[in-house]
Amino acid sequence: MGLLQRMELHPRPLVRAALTTAGVAGLVALGSRGGRWLDPALLGYLLATLFATFGIAYRYWDWVDRPPTWMYFRHTLKTLMSPKGFTAFFKMGKAATDQIVLQRFIEKRSLKRWGAHFLLSWGCLLGFAITIPLVFGWVRFTSAGLDATRYQAWVMGVPAFTFPLDSLIATVTFHALDIAAVMVIAGCALSFIRRHQDEGDTATQRTDLDLMPLLLLIAVSVTGIMLTVSEAYLQGRNFHTIAYLHELTVILLLLSLPFGKLFHIVQRPAQIGVKLYKEQGEAEGRVPCKACGAPFIRANQRRDLEELWNRLDLKGATHAGGRFHHLDLCPRCKRRLVAKSQSKRLGGGFDPFHGMPLPTEPIPDATTWSSK
């Protein structure tokens, strides 16, 4: 058995992950002007980010290669490449605003959950959006020439804009990570309270998957805020120790990204592709159940699911000598079928009306009777 098989690694996602990481490393080299603008204090973060990139890319491509995931991924790609791609792109943008930006579906699950998740997710994304360009050397700040009262912002080695040190923009720029940290701590606190109060979550939550990421995020945020406190109120006391502690927690968080719950950040946009798929299925129409005749399954999903079942080696699930598939039965008829099959095995013994002839005319329902 080869090393890859022993480690349960798949070659195709490995190659794609290596290419993705090489691409990101190339962008770092380009944006930092061959590494000239890289901040030596942030090199530990850079290495951990590149490792996390490889891990996330491997898991992402491995996930996309799963037959059911590929079913939707392929459909979204095909639609975007088709003549309808432009319209589809705008529809996806609209859905992304509702689902990803505003996270309305979480609000429908519970308001408390939405509040916690909104703070947590936007706090994290704001943190990543600030630190990644700084770590990659894409953004940096220097004094504006000889003017010690102004700062110069550089983007990809190009001078972007200057701002006075005592302005609002300076305060926001220098404390944006503190704002993100407060949002994350508030979100984590709300999550812990909700998890403590919710019997369902208490029963099903796992320490490694559900609680550890929250604790790690709190550790990152608290040590980050401690840096500001040390610098602003304690004359820089213990600044270096706190800086190392902060770096350690961030590196732990980055290394855990591909393996833990936070991986759903890159999985979640798949929801937008599914919206598009459903919309196209509705336009195509629903296929009726072979037993009761009620339309229930979208035509595109019916076709794709049979193909998926075959790819998953779930073959031969047919009825009436192969004339139709088990997928052609609606969920209600599938449930009735279990009882009918049990009844048959019992010789029809449990049905008090077994053997009686069926009425030849439809029986009027209760409302018709009461009105007479």
Partner 1 sequence: MPLVNEEYGFFVDPQRCIGCRACVGACAECGTHRGRSMIHLDEIDRLASTQTVPTVCMHCEDPICAQVCPADAIKRSEDGVVHSSQKPRCIGCQNCELSCPFGVPIVFSGLEQMLKCDLCYDRTSEGLRPMCATVCPSQALLYAPKVQIEGMRKNKPLREFTIGELHVKTRNAVMVPDTEVPLHLDASLLIAGGF
The interface with partner 1 within residues 108-127 (CB under 8 A) comprises 108-110
| Residue 339 in contact with partner 1, rule: CB under 8 A | yes
| Residue 345 in contact with partner 1, rule: CB under 8 A | yes
| Residue 85 in contact with partner 1, rule: CB under 8 A | no
Which two structure tokens, joined as six digits, stand for 164? 């006075």
* Shortest reach from residue 243's CB to partner 1, in Å: 32
**What span, in angstroms and rounded, lies between the C-alpha atoms of 59 and 13?**
8
| Residue 190 in contact with partner 1, rule: CB under 8 A | no
Residue 12-41 contact track with partner 1, rule CB under 8 A, x = bound: ------------------------------
Q: Which range in 6-14, 225-233, 246-254, 313-321 contacts partner 1 by CB under 8 A?
A: 313-321
| Residue 99 in contact with partner 1, rule: CB under 8 A | yes
For 298, the enclosing helix (H) or strand (E) is: strand 295-298
Cα torsion at 245, 248, 252, 257 (round to 10°)? 100
Q: Which is nearer to partner 1, 28 or 329 (CB)?
A: 329
The string over 121-141, giving b where at least 16 C-beta atoms fall within 10 Å of a residue's C-beta and e elsewhere, is: bbbbebbeebbbeebbbbbbe
Q: Which is nearer to partner 1, 23 or 67 (CB)?
A: 67
Number of chain residues interacting with partner 1 (CB under 8 A)? 75
Q: Which residues in the 39-78 window bind partner 1 by CB under 8 A?
A: 63, 66, 68-69, 71-72
- In this structure, are residues 43 and 135 in contact, taking their beta carbons and an 8 Å threshold? no
**What span, in angstroms and rounded, lies between the C-alpha atoms of 18 and 7?**
17
Among 36, 168, 322, 366, binds partner 1 (CB under 8 A): 322
**Pick from 304, 299, 295, 306: nearest CA to 330:** 295
| Residue 94 in contact with partner 1, rule: CB under 8 A | no
**Pick from 307, 214, 204: nearest CA to 253:** 214
**What span, in angstroms and rounded, lies between the C-alpha atoms of 203 and 254?**
28
| Residue 332 in contact with partner 1, rule: CB under 8 A | yes
- In this structure, are residues 192 and 214 in contact, taking their beta carbons and an 8 Å threshold? yes
Q: Which is nearer to partner 1, 1 or 358 (CB)?
A: 358
| Residue 329 in contact with partner 1, rule: CB under 8 A | yes
| Residue 179 in contact with partner 1, rule: CB under 8 A | no
Among 189, 291, 299, 303, binds partner 1 (CB under 8 A): 291
**What span, in angstroms and rounded, lies between the C-alpha atoms of 297 and 330?**
8
Q: Which range in 6-14, 35-43, 132-140, 316-324 contacts partner 1 by CB under 8 A?
A: 316-324
- In this structure, are residues 230 and 242 in contact, taking their beta carbons and an 8 Å threshold? yes
| Residue 338 in contact with partner 1, rule: CB under 8 A | yes
